[in-house]
Structure 1
Amino acid sequence: MLDPAEARVQAELDDPGFIAGAQAGRWRIHAFAFPRLDFYIAATEPDGRTAAYGFRGDVTNFPATNPMVRIWDLVANTPLSAPLRPKGNQRVAITFQQWGDDTVYRPWDRMTGPHNSNAVNLPHLAWRSDRRLQFIFEDIHGILNLNARAHRLRAAA
């Protein structure tokens, strides 16, 4: 019998909106072996080059329990080292910093939400059981592409 959390994750990965994001090149699933979800998110580097960063998610008891997501070297199967993490403005630096639990530092994350009352202080970014995985993928994609706007602004100046 399929775990209800696994069934929910699989249904979300098969959702047309989620698939549209993958087809647009914003993200792609590397592997899904419940409760682990490995994926890549497209990024724009500070110099304007495109890149992709790997992530490892734990979706145990999804969606009742918020996912835990770490920036990950999916080839070496280890957390991405600090020198290789995304660079850019302060939001990029904070989101992908190495910290105590070393998860993506966003209020929706299982470990970050309670840290410094992030989920309470930023309820619009906090995890709720009615949220979908696409919310997380879009949030990470948005942060990883903050450099695109800054690069366009510099080029236009």
Structure 2
Amino acid sequence: MRHIFAERASAWDPTAGRRPDPPGDAAPSVTDALKTWNESGTGYGGIYRPWQRGAANHNNWARLRPDLAWHARRDLTFIMEELYALVSEQASWLDRRAAA
């Protein structure tokens, strides 16, 4: 999986609120998850998924997608599986594009 996002790994700086732009050739879900957003308008809001604390309230996303929203019965495994799904989708997207 190193080839999928490796060139961008060194640009992350969570303390400074900086992160790389989404890959130019990315699966739609990856582009959406890595888009620049922030509810307060300052800095980067983090990964844009309904289970992310800040994103959950943005545009009522957690209410619109309860299947992906965080709740007390979920654990870290849920988030890891969702992240794995994004990386897997990106790998499949790249494979399909290369085969075309």
TM-score normalized with structure 2 length = 0.70
Who is 1:132 aligned against? Answer: 75
1:85 to 21, 43, 55: 21
Larger of the two Rg values belongs to structure: 1
Q: CA deviation at 1:108?
A: 0.7
Unaligned runs of 5+ in 1: 1-42, 55-71
State the number of aligned residues: 90
Q: CA deviation at 1:111?
A: 0.9
Higher share in helix: 2
Q: CA deviation at 1:119?
A: 0.7
Who is 1:95 aligned against? Answer: 33
Give the partner amino acid of 1:78.
A
Pair 1:51-2:5 in alignment = yes
Q: What is the CA RMSD across the aligned residues, in angstroms?
A: 2.4
Q: CA deviation at 1:156?
A: 3.8
Regions of 4+ moved over 3 Å:
50-54, 154-157
Higher share in strand: 1
Identical positions, percent: 31
Give the partner amino acid of 1:117.
N
Alignment of 1:1-157 (within 5 A): 49-51=3-5, 72-73=12-13, 77-81=15-19, 84-87=20-23, 88-101=26-39, 102-157=45-100
Whole-angstrom CA distance in 1 between matches of 2:93 and 2:28 = 12
